[in-house]
Structure 1
Amino acid sequence: MVRHALEGLPAKSIARRLELSQHTVNDHLGAVYRMLGVSGREELFACLRHRAPPAPDHRAPHSGGHPGRGDPLPRQVLTSPYPG
C-alpha cells in the first residue's frame, strides 16, 4: 500500500488495485503516517528516502512502539499480505 502511495496513486486507485475500500486504504495510510511521525505523502517520501534499508530477517520483530527517525523502517510498513 505504501509503495502505491509513493507512486502517486490516489487512495481510490490503491483501493481498486488491492480490492479494499477507500476508507480502509485511508485508515492504513493514516496508521503508517502516525507510526512514522509524518503528516502526509510528501513527508512519508522524505522520511523513507532518508532511512536506512530494512535490517536482515534475523532481527527481532517490531515491538509496536514508534520508531525514531533513524530507526529501520518496521517490516509491516514494507510488506503487505495483498498482491500488487
Structure 2
Amino acid sequence: VLGVVQKAPLASTFGDSVSDPAWRHKPSWYQISSADRMISPVNQERMAARLGARKVITLDASHASLASRPAEVAALILEAAAAITTVAG
C-alpha cells in the first residue's frame, strides 16, 4: 500500500536552502532502522550524532519502521513529547 500511495518529493525540494535548521535549537530524538535499505544505518547514526539527539534507539526494522514497529516508535515519540511538555510547562 505504501508503495502505491507514497509520492516522490518535489524536485525543487533538493534545491531549497535552509538558513537556520530547527535541529540546531530544538531537542531531537532519533530512531535508527538497522535493516533500512533506503538510508544506511551508518548514515542514520551520523545524522543522529550531528543533531545531538537526546536519545537514539535502534530497531530491527526496514525503512518502514512506523508500520512494522509502531509500538516502539510511538513510545519514543511519547517520551519526546513528555520531555518537551515538561520543559515548556
TM range (shorter): under 0.3
**TM-score when scaled to structure 1?**
0.26
**TM-score when scaled to structure 2?**
0.26
Q: Rg: which structure is higher?
A: 2
